[in-house]
Structure 1
Amino acid sequence: MPRTEPPFIPSEYRPPIWVRVLPALENIFYGANLSNILSAHKTVVLDILAWLPYGIIHFGGPFVCAIFIFLFGPPTTLPVFARTFGYVNLIGVMIQILFPCSPPWYENMYGLAPANYSIQGSPAGLARIDKLFGVELYTSTFTASPLVFGAFPSLHSGNATIEALFMSHLFPRCKPIFIAYTLWLWWATMYLSHHYAVDLVGGSLLSGVAFYYAKSTFLPRIQPDKTFRWDYDYVEFGDTPAEYGYGRAGLDGLEAGADEWTVGSSSSISSGSLSPTEESQPPFRDLQTKMDR
């Protein structure tokens, strides 16, 4: 049922909706519409397996990751995660507004006919979940969505990727688990006809760029002999020895300004001795950063 008035932004100020771009890219890159292939055979078991990551874990995942990052990450890791996560979603929504594209469910319902902003959203495969449990949670939510044509990039994929990258940074031995979760969510979005594969790749690339920029600039380095955030006496920043910065981790934040703590070589500091270094060694930049609480 079409909407009489688009919410928030009048349609005359909105860019045209791209209906054919994503299906064309899908066929160019993969030789087929993967979403249609994966959603061709539907069962209740597959519906539930797709609903769990897309409709449940996706919304609680950031909070669970934040708890683990706070407990096990070096001081200041949680604020870096929060800012990176926020910027990924902000940039993703801006792209969706400026480059509106139709999702797979639109192609299933209307083919490649031109779209307009009066068309309501659709829960697509999640409607089967509502029917299964006798509710209208996803039907009402997606039907009233203010961003119906925000297919590219997929922020479900982007969020899963940024979570997987940060958790892999903290727990490198568990990286296969985080990769498996991301791929699980990828499959779920295509099975439920909410995104094309190209949307998922776009969302993951956006998160990858944001994470590695943060890692090279702001993200504290993991010290293998430390388990909890309270075990860190100091933090290290940077990906190369020439860029390392150091700060002393105190109860109220990262203390800086005392030469014996902020001047040192990567080898002496990383040894865990925290002893003052010789005056001949080059100083590193002072860091005055508050611990994330």
Structure 2
Amino acid sequence: MTPNDLPSLRETLDAHGLLAKKSFGQHFLLDLNVTRKIVRLAGPFEGRAVIEVGPGPGGLTRALLESDAGTVVLVEKDPRFLPLLGELDDGSGRLTVVEADALGVREAELVEGPAHIVSNLPYNVGTPLLIKWLTGPWTPHALTLMFQKEVAERITAAPGDEAYGRLAVISQAVCEAKLVMHLPAAAFTPPPKVASAVVHLVPRADRPDQDLLKALERVTAAAFGQRRKMLRSSLKPLGGAALCEAAGLSPEDRAEVIDLAGFLRLARAVAGQPQPAAPGDGGATMMRRKRG
């Protein structure tokens, strides 16, 4: 049986008597045209494995099974959906369903080799899951994830944007991040109170090592924890003005105007790692301009 031979998603939900659970942050995408577009944006997969978190009734799963993905591994916390998802198995061995909380799963034990993550993430765990994938020991080949629009904008924000903060710096230090699709609330069942958006992230070849990433988390927590203060004040526990000087930044700047390169220099100074021989502009240019 192919996905085209299956009953509609609404019919499947009705047949199993299933409704979304608010406590799990569930909002279902039942329009296969939309789920197919998301999969096209995520691919091509070229036979690589794909992990999907929170598949629910399987709208995105059906599109993945139609694609050039290799193994498709579903991680579903809600046991009500396991029988329904099992009906998508055509016996080819491509589909694996795992009942688990994705926050506690070790992805390296689910797939072999490089793998994509493609998910309409439950709203209540979307950000924690992203941080886990960005900062953990397992590196995906690419991630194509749906979030609340506000969270998607925080991931892809640039210095000076209202949404610019810790999530943007950490996400963009590890990955090239691009907002690739907007969806209105009406696209979901039940409709959430906010719009949604899809972000595509591809890990950088020069992403920070674990020590530098931990230092970056410390720096961004301090800097954006008091984002209206000058860096000399917000970063005082880490070295304040002296830390800024070591990173080639003005102590009078605020976190919201420091670019990724500037934050990475701050993190290197905290971690005791050498600075690049030719630092980029951004914060350093601003410092020279202020002094010049």
Give the TM-score, by structure 1 length.
0.28
As a proportion of its length, which structure holds more strand?
2
Q: Which has the larger radius of gyration?
A: 1
User: Bigger relative contact order, structure 1 or 2, given CA contacts below 8 A and separation 6+?
Assistant: 1
Q: Which of the two has greater helix per residue?
A: 1
Give the TM-score taking structure 2 as reference length: 0.28
